[in-house]
Amino acid sequence: MKKMLPHLKPYLLQILAVVVLVFVSVIADLSLPNFLSNIINYGVAEGNTGYILSTGGLMLFFALISIVATIISGFLSAKVSMGFGKKLRSVVFNQVEKFSLSEFDQFGTASLITRTTNDITQIQQFVMIFLRIILMAPIIAIGGILMAYRKSPQMSNIIFVSIPILIILIMIIAKLAMPLSKSMQKKLDRVNLVMREKLTGIRVIRAFNTEDHEKERFEQANRDLTTTAMKMQRTMALLMPALMVTLNLTTVALVWLGAVQVNIGSMMVGDIIALVQYVMQIMMSFTMMSMIFIMYPRAAASAERINQVTDTVPTIQNKANAICGTTLKGQVEFRNVTFTYPHAEQPALHDISFATHPGETTAIIGSTGSGKSTLINLIPRFYDVDSGSILVDGIDVREYDQQALRAKIGYVPQKATLFKGTIGGNIRYGKNDATDEEIEYASKIAQSNDFIMEKEHRYDSDISQGATNVSGGQKQRLSIARAIVRRPEIYIFDDSFSALDFKTDSQLRAALKNETKNAAVIIVAQRVSTIMDADQIIVLDSGEMVGIGTHHELLENCDVYKEIVSSQLSSEEMQ
């Protein structure tokens, strides 16, 4: 939580103003019982109606001061907390945009989303409630004690008995409730998990007749949750009655002691009334402070998760004098590349070497998990290699300015990601200043023009979030068009034809052929038919390169390749 403080620094003046304003309003509020006791002690006792009225007017004035101060401080608190939230969100988002895929793997996309959204909202709320409510508590406590002392120092001493009792009570109950609350959260998660599994596996459950077993599993989780929730609620329920008893018995003691004081003439009746009110307010303020015990752990946990993001130094950064332009075009070379994912035991790629040339197609094939996608993700420098080097146009990718390196590449990811917007906008994502003709041209090569023209608004048709309104094959073609419109030197297709039928697949590849005469084309594929006419095929198996060559060469000398081919083609087709 401490690390959040620097983000609050720009608001130092406003926060100070809030503190002052809260102080003013609290003191104004606290002065009311004092005036009240004066009215009783002097106005009533002496029958002075004029005094009563003028003091009443004074009270009204103080009440006005209090409301004005509170409204201004509410205004400032709102601005500070929301401004702070805005700034923090911006810092986190900017940081995440700098992350490489390696940091994304480390945190997980879902977790990064939560950290940018919920966690920050959580802290923003904490700041808000802190400024508006929790901050008031110590000020009321101190102000109240001061006022009470002015009335009667001897009697005020009673506070020093009651407050420790109050604090101890709050601590005991918090200590009992905290572990219960944690365990309740776990049991709630368990209920959710069982229910989730039940819903996702409903066919399997019904097919295997395990409904009774499932019922029992749920019942157990449910019972567990109920028992713990009950325990937790019953513990928390102790808090208010315990606090009230302490507070009220203090009042009783106060009145008794007051009676003694009044009897010996060292105090007046109005003073007792004022003191009772002060003591009540002091003790309520401690209850308010206990709120921080409930709010703080959550906010602190959120702060911790945010700090992890802001403290993470992106592994991939530009060098001081990074290279922006090259003379060579369309060449990629791997030299003894070994790469291990963070925290993995085995390298995902081991000692890979190959080179591509302009106008040539290089295909990569292998089982799931053999390292195909990993290999091509290294070219745009989404990850850095452990050893060896990757050269693009003769220069190590680590020497490049990242933007300049990626500007050379037309990358089509495995999962065709489109953004909310229009079809045309999504293709133009590849080249900001592309003309409508360029977009249509790219779209034709990607075999997407036909289905786009069938749409009512053609290139202006909407793409919803997650692109749920176009089919998988259409998504793939649009993301291919997005790459083509850049006219890149290097094309990377990560299993990008999988959702296309065989006919579209071959038409697309034929059309592409004309566009890539001076470019390097690297294709990852599952289907042998997609890649069998490539200039060179790289066969990966568990991160090792077990074969490189043309289709026919590999059929001769690579067992893994033969196995893959035979699993897809009949024997007569293999010839």
Partner 1 sequence: MSKTSGSMKGHMGPMGGPGAHGSFEKPKDMKGTFGRLLKFMKPYRKGLICVILLVLLSTVFNTLAPRVLGLATNQIDIGFRSENGVDFGAVMQILILLGCIYLLAATFNYLQQFIMSGVSQKTMYDIRTAVDQKIRRLPLNYFDTNTFGDVLSRVTNDVDTVSTSLQQSITQLVSSVITIVMILIMMFSISPLLSIIGLITLPFSLLVSIGVVKKSQGFFRGQQQSLGDLNGFVEEMYTGHNVIKAYGKEEDTIGRFEEINDRLYRNGWKAQFVSSIIMPAIGFLGNVGYILVTVVGAIMVISGRLLVGDIQSMIQYLRQFNQPINQTANIANILQSTAAAAERIFAFLDEKEEPADKANAIVPKDAKGEIEFSHVRFGYTPERVLIKDLSLKVEEGHKVAIVGPTGAGKTTLVNLLLRFYDINSGQITIDGVDIMDMKRTDLRSMIGMVLQDTWLFKGTIMENIRYGRLNATDEEVYQAAKSAHADKFIRSLPDGYQFVLNEDASNISQGQRQLLTIARAIISNPTILILDEATSSVDTRTEVRIQKAMNNLMKDRTSFIIAHRLSTIRDADTILVLNDGDIVETGTHQQLLALGGFYANLYNSQFAQNNQA
Among candidate residues 395, 283, 276, 383, the one with its CA nearest the CA of residue 338: 383
Minimum distance between the CB of residue 204 and partner 1, rounded to whole angstroms?
A: 5
Beta carbon nearer to partner 1, 391 or 407: 407
Out of 102, 106, 201, 461, the residue judged to bind partner 1 by CB under 8 A: 201
Does position 233 interact with partner 1 (CB under 8 A)? The reply is yes
The size of the interface with partner 1 (CB under 8 A), counted in residues, is 165
- Is 573 exposed, middle or buried (CB count within 10 Å of its CB: 0-12, 13-18, 19+)? exposed
- Angstrom distances, CA of residue 38 to CA of 32, 44, 63, 192, 270: 10, 9, 16, 61, 7
The pairing of beta strand 536-541 with beta strand 544-549: antiparallel
**Counting contacts by CB under 8 A, is residue 186 touching partner 1?**
no
Nearer to partner 1 among residue 317 and residue 353 (C-beta): 317
Among 19, 104, 310, 322, binds partner 1 (CB under 8 A): 104
* Contacts with partner 1, 440-469, as mask; x by CB under 8 A: -------------------------xx---
Nearer to partner 1, 151 or 406 (CB): 406
Nearest Cα residue to 445 out of 403, 483, 490, 481:
481
Which of residues 556 and 573 has its CB atom nearest to partner 1 in the complex? 573
Contact between residue 71 and residue 63 where contact means Cβ atoms under 8 Å apart: no
Among 3, 86, 319, 457, binds partner 1 (CB under 8 A): 86
Determine if 502 is a binding residue for partner 1 (CB under 8 A).
yes
In the complex, the smallest distance separating the C-beta of residue 76 from partner 1, rounded to whole angstroms, is 9
* Residue 550 binds partner 1, judged by CB under 8 A: no
At closest approach, how far in Å is the CB of 298 from partner 1?
Answer: 7
Q: Which residue of 36, 135, 279, 524 would you call a contact of partner 1, by CB under 8 A?
A: 36
> Is-contact 436 459, C-beta < 8 A?
yes
For residue 189 the two structure tokens come to 């998660």
492 vs 483: CA distance, rounded Å: 9
* Contact with partner 1 (CB under 8 A) among 176, 238, 499, 555: 238
In the bound state with partner 1, the residue whose beta carbon lies nearer, of 233 and 435, is 233
How far is Cα 439 from Cα 459, in angstroms, rounded to an integer?
9
Sign of CA dihedral 36, 38, 44, 49: negative
Grouping H, G, I as helix, E, B as strand and the rest as coil, residue 421 is strand
As a whole number of angstroms, the distance between CA 72 and CA 343 comes to 52
Tell me the CA distances in angstroms from 273 to 251, 252, 327, 348, one per residue in order: 10, 12, 90, 78
Binding mask 239-278 for partner 1 (x = CB under 8 A): xxxx-xx--xx-xx--xx-xxx-xx----xxx-xx--xx-
- Binding piece for partner 1, criterion CB under 8 A, among 27-35, 152-160, 328-336, 385-393: 27-35
Residues of this chain, 398-437, that bind partner 1 according to CB under 8 A: 402-403, 406-407, 409, 411, 413, 417, 419-420, 429-430
CB of residue 440 vs partner 1: minimum separation in angstroms? 20
CB 503 within 8 A of CB 422: no
Q: Which of 12, 16, 113, 344 binds partner 1 (CB under 8 A)?
A: 113
Name which of 202 and 328 has its Cβ closer to partner 1: 202
Q: Within 303-362, which residues bind partner 1 (CB under 8 A)?
A: none
Partnered with residue 523 across adjacent β-strands are 363, 493
The CB-of-193 to partner 1 minimum distance in angstroms stands at 6
311 vs 316: CA distance, rounded Å? 15
| Of the candidate residues 13, 20, 237, 453, the single one contacting partner 1 (CB under 8 A) | 237
**Cα(168)–Cα(533) distance, integer angstroms:** 79
Is position 161 an interface residue for partner 1 (rule: CB under 8 A)? no
Q: Which residues contact 129 (CB under 8 A, 6 or more apart)?
A: 291, 295
CB of 464 to partner 1, least distance (A): 11
Longest Cα separation, the chain: 120
Q: Which of 78, 171, 328, 453 binds partner 1 (CB under 8 A)?
A: 78
Minimum CB distance to partner 1, residue 487 (Å): 13
Nearer to partner 1, 87 or 335 (CB): 87
Q: What is the number of other CB atoms lying within 10 angstroms of the CB of residue 337?
A: 22
Instruction: Name which of 292 and 391 has its Cβ closer to partner 1.
Output: 292
Tell me the window of 1-9, 157-165, 354-362, 500-508 that interacts with partner 1 (CB under 8 A).
Answer: 500-508
Q: How far is the CB of 78 from partner 1 (least distance, A)?
A: 4
| Residue whose C-alpha is closest to residue 387's, from 348, 335, 345 | 335
Nearer to partner 1, 433 or 453 (CB): 433
Neighbours of 396 (CB within 10 A): 16
* Residue 283 within binding range of partner 1, rule CB under 8 A: no
Rounded Cα–Cα distance for residues 223 and 231 (Å): 12
Q: Which residue has the tokens 């030197």?
A: 489
Contact range with partner 1 by CB under 8 A, out of 144-152, 339-347, 366-374, 438-446: 366-374
Helix (H) or strand (E) holding 173: helix 159-200
Among 19, 52, 511, 555, binds partner 1 (CB under 8 A): 52
Judge contact between 506 and 447, C-beta under 8 A.
Answer: no
CB of 439 to partner 1, least distance (A): 15
| 2, two tokens | 């401490």
Query: Rule CB under 8 A: which of 125-154 touch partner 1?
Result: 125, 128-129, 132-133
- Residue 370 tokens read as 């053999």
Q: Residue 62 or 456: which CB sits closer to partner 1?
A: 62
Helix (H, G, I), strand (E, B) or coil at 277: helix
- Do 377 and 400 meet the contact criterion of CB atoms below 8 Å apart? no
- Euclidean distance between CA atoms 375 and 398, whole angstroms: 16
Among 506, 515, 542, 553, binds partner 1 (CB under 8 A): 506
419: its two tokens: 């953004």
Q: Which is nearer to partner 1, 58 or 395 (CB)?
A: 58
